[in-house]
Amino acid sequence: MTQQAVRSERDSNWAGNYRYGAPELRRPESVEELQAIVRSASSIQALGSGHSFNAIADCAEIQVSLERMPPVLDVDEQSMTVTVGGGSNYGTLAVALAERGLALASLASLPHISVAGAIATATHGSGDGNANLAAAVVRLVLVDGTGEVRTASRADTPDFAGYVVGLGALGIVTEVTLAIEPSFTVAQHVYRDVEWAQVLADYGAVTGRAYSVSLFTDWSGDTVGQVWFKQRVGDGRTTDFPAGLLGGYAATEAVHPLPGVEAVNCTQQLGVPGLWQDRLPHFRMEFMPSAGEEIQSEYLVDRVHAVAAINALRGLSGVITPLLQVAEIRSVAADDLWLSTAGGRDSVAFHFTWFRDQAAVEDVVKIVEAALAPFGARPHWGKVFDSEAAALAPLYPHFGDFKALAGRLDPDGKFRNDFLRRVVFAE
């Protein structure tokens, strides 16, 4: 197969809003081959599942896909960890763990995303007590900018907290070891037309009602379109999900977060219990949730500002709603990772799924960021945002430490693409 043909297979991201500029796409079949590619390159980046909505995975010379690397799946039930290859996705991993009666504590709304890519960008699921996916990492192996293999572990590496949410700036991750736990059961309950007034009267009670909670809204009107409660069976929380709740009503048939869209690709609802991997994501592994005709943005603020931030966004409905497919509000527990969007603070995440109009989205995110700036909003690293390094650095106490770590692991700046120079390494 010619290089041009290979490139045309993966020439844009999943959503189609960003076309990669890297002229080459390599698929190494061993760590040794990957090392050789890194050593030969002057500009290189890893390409995961292509689910980022910005240029974080692009570069000037060589993109690398790990899809042909030997599969890795090593379950250690004594330490309750699992080690997987950097090219693995969460859906495949979840099935393998479930077959052994094991689980991850949290999953993102999409199970199709790559493990290494999700971790590198601090992608998350939902739940007051559930930290982002990167917080489960206890060890990782990467090929750094010199072509050397490095292993970093929570037990033995002093600056481990800087390695995990690495933004692709430290190297290409070939293995990840994650904390696991015994399998558990989840029942999913969906309510429609829940009243904002009742949600805001005690926001913490709403998000604390279940293991994972998502609010779907278009930011207009006096009601929240849908609230999804993912109840972990037997975890001690209330199991009372009546016909009416918070001024809304229980859905009597399965629904999709997008109004009017068939729910066939959504995970089972209506309170039917099922294994964690079949309920924690919003979408089934065997289906892609859409054709990708969308652009996403997301911002996380300290949970103490949840109500104020919600009110600020409701006030922007006239600007936001016309461009919006749907918005989702979730909670994420704090972690200690240097560039995690929930680092050091329990957070509330405001997610926006926009219609695919790049110029219009770039304009509206500036307005959203200005409204959320008083709350120290941190943008999701893999989605569309406007902030640059000067604005982002004060939001992360270890921002300078991360830059220093990147300098040690990648002294020639091979992994510093234009995106990273703008949002991290600009002076």
Place of tokens 């190494």: 28
pLDDT at 5: 33
pTM: 0.95
- Share of residues in the chain with pLDDT > 70 (%): 96
pLDDT at 3: 36
pLDDT tens column, 223-266: 999 999 999 998 887 678 999 999 999 999 999 998 888 888 88
**Local confidence band at 289 (pLDDT 50, 70, 90 cut-offs):** low
pLDDT tens column, 255-280: 999 888 888 888 999 999 999 999 98
The average pLDDT across 50-58 equals 91
**DSSP labels, 35-85:** HHHHHH-SSEEE--SS--SSSTT--SSEEE--TTSPP-EEEETTTTEEEEE
Q: Mean pLDDT across the chain, nearest whole number?
A: 93
**Local confidence band at 288 (pLDDT 50, 70, 90 cut-offs):** low
Q: Domains of the chain, with CATH numbers?
A: 73-183 (3.30.465.10), 186-387 (3.30.70.2520)
Residue 50 CA to residue 18 CA, distance in Å, equals 10
pLDDT tens column, 133-166: 999 999 999 999 999 999 999 999 999 999 999 9
Residue 167 CA to residue 397 CA, distance in Å, equals 17
The residue ranking higher by pLDDT, 239 or 382, is 382
**With 80 as the cut, is the pLDDT of residue 314 above it?**
yes
- Nearest alpha-carbon partner for 163 in 336, 419, 345: 336
**DSSP labels, 144-158:** -TTS-EEEEETTT-T
